[in-house]
Structures are given as structure tokens and as C-alpha cells.
Amino acid sequence: MAASLSGTRWCARRRITSRRAWHLAEASVAPDEDVAGALEAVGEDAARRGGFEAAAAAYERAATLTPGREPRVRRLCLAGQYAYAFAAASRGASALAEEALREARDDDVRFELQLLHGLMLFLVDPRVAYRSMLDEADRLEGHAPQRAALLAAIASFQALRRGDAPNALEAAELARVPADGAAEPADPFIVVAAGAALLANGRVDEAGPLLLTAGELARRSEQAYDSDSSLPAWGSADRTILAVDALIVMGELDRAATCAASADAWARRHGSLAALTWTSAYLGRVDVLAGRWTGARPALAEADRLA
């Protein structure tokens, strides 16, 4: 009983703190870092509880009240990321990313924003997004080869999802140039994306050895979703989908189900409708391929409803 009362009081204090921050924000007519910081804390708390939509709203309002450019861009970036995590096709998320990109000067933040904006643009205008990703990859190739390769690999993957095999192969081959020239080992996403593109273009013998890297890609993807972070690194969804697709092609259905289940658990824990739509679909798909019809039906029905 005492523990229940203590929990109730804690929830009440949290609600009061949140309302106070929002009231101060509504009363502010000029940038104020104290109020912005209070709203950021509200956003962090909402994200921990799986309230991505509320977190996005708090970070966005905090950004409008932030005096300095870089802290403002950082908060805009977080607002866009949480808006995207809640509902990928959000116009608000796209607008936030574009606004932050106009102001960003830090290379790390710009890369995160370019990646986020590119992923959202693929939902609206895939051809423009494809060319934009490759242009940015070309710009980065000389001084950030791994980042250039990752952007080109994502462009390849997105083209493949639309059934555009020739462009998928073009981008995959572009991705392998900076990846092969980098000092560090290639990201497994880049390797598997190249394999998937080769397979889609009928070059099965060349694709096989590259697709074997799907196991490592799946392992890293599971680690991202099993971490304590409320928001895994950008591209985690693409990584998981590609890993699951490759494992399905290789006939490793149990491994594919485990990988998809890790992302599904994260989506349910954090209330990400965007992620839950595709995790349910993939879990249902694996069950169909494995002949588990009873398990497949509710998963596919849920994916259909969410989509």
C-alpha cells in the first residue's frame, strides 16, 4: 500500500513538473534557456516512458526557446527523430529536419540530419531522395568514406524495396568504393545491401558470399534494440529489415524471427507505431514461410491495421 501511494505521488509530481514547464513555455515571449532546459527534461521523461509524440512536441518547443544555434539545432534534431520514430510519414518530422539542416554547422549533427531527412524523403518522393542521398555521399567520399558508403547503401536498399533493381545495383556499387578504401572494416549493412542488389539483378554467385554477412548485421541490429537507449541509432530499422530479408532468402527463418522479434519488443516498449507496423508484418511473414498459420494471422492483421 505504501509503495502504491509513493508511486502515485511520484506520478503526480511528474505531471506537475511537466505542466509547469509547459506553462512557462506558453508565457515566454523570448528565448530562455532555463525554460528550454525544463522542456527538454520533459521530453527526455516522455521518451523514456515511450511517449515519442509527446517527446517530439517538447523538444520542438524547447528548440524555439533556445538562444544558441547549436543547442537549438540539437533539440530540433531530437524533435524530428522522435516524430519520425512515432510515425515515419509525419510531415512535421520532415519540416523539423529541414529547418535544422538549414542551421546545422557541426558535421556529426549534419550527417544525422541528412540521414533522417533522406529516410523521410523516400516516403514522399523516392527518386528525389535517391539522387539526394547519392549527391551527399559523393560530397562526403573524400573526407568521410564510411559515411558516404552508408548513405549510398541506404539509397540502394530503398531502391530495392521499390523493386528498382538497376538503381539498387548502381548505388550498391558506389557504396563499395569508399567502403573498400576506408581504414576500418566495412559496415555489414553495406556488404549485405550489395549482396541483395546483386541478387535482385540475377548475379547469384556474386551475391552469395556477401549475404553471409547477414548474421553479423542481425546481431548488431539486435544489440541496438536491446540497449537501454529509447532511440536506437538512425538506420536501425533499415538494418533490421535488410538482415531479416537476407536471412529469409538464406532459409534461416528462426534467426530471421529472432531479429524481427527484438525490434518488435522495442517498438512495443516505446510506443513506436512506425516500427510496429513493419515488425508485425515481418513476424507474420516469417510465420507464413515456416507454415505457422495460426501465429501469422494476428501479426499480419495488426500490421494491416497499423499501416
Residues 102 and 143 grouped into a single domain = no
Predicted pLDDT of residue 90 = 58
pLDDT band, residue 108 (cuts 50/70/90):
confident
pLDDT band, residue 101 (cuts 50/70/90):
confident
Residues 109 and 34 grouped into a single domain = yes
Residue where one domain finishes, among candidates 94, 124, 154:
124
Cell matching residue 113 = 540530419
* 94 within domain boundaries: yes
Q: What is the pTM of this model?
A: 0.79
pLDDT in tens, 156-194: 999 998 999 999 999 999 998 876 666 677 789 999 999
Predicted pLDDT of residue 87 = 66
* 4 within domain boundaries: no
Residues 49 and 105 grouped into a single domain = yes
Residues 207 and 268 grouped into a single domain = no
> What is the number of domains present in the chain?
3
What are the residues whose beta carbons fall under 8 Å from the beta carbon of 246, sequence distance 6 or more?
192, 195, 196, 211, 214, 217
Q: How many CB atoms lie within 10 A of CB 87?
A: 17
The yes-or-no verdict on residue 8 having pLDDT over 70 is no
* 16 within domain boundaries: yes
Gyration radius from the chain CA atoms: 21
- Measured CA to CA, the distance from residue 162 to residue 118 in angstroms comes to 15
Three-state SS for 138-185 is HHHCCCCHHHHHHHHHHHHHHHHHCCCHHHHHHHHHHHHHHHHHCCCC
**Residue-number span of the structural domain to which 287 is assigned:** 222-231+240-307
Cell matching residue 203 = 548475379
Residues 116 and 165 grouped into a single domain = no
Q: Which residue has the higher pLDDT, 247 or 235?
A: 247
What CATH number has the domain bearing residue 95? 1.25.40
Residues 16 and 120 grouped into a single domain = yes
* 293 within domain boundaries: yes
pLDDT in tens, 205-239: 999 999 999 999 999 988 888 876 666 655 678 88
pLDDT band, residue 10 (cuts 50/70/90):
very low
- Measured CA to CA, the distance from residue 133 to residue 144 in angstroms comes to 14
The yes-or-no verdict on residue 93 having pLDDT over 90 is no
* 2 within domain boundaries: no
The yes-or-no verdict on residue 3 having pLDDT over 90 is no
Residues 95 and 23 grouped into a single domain = yes
Residues 98 and 161 grouped into a single domain = no
What are the residues whose beta carbons fall under 8 Å from the beta carbon of 128, sequence distance 6 or more?
121
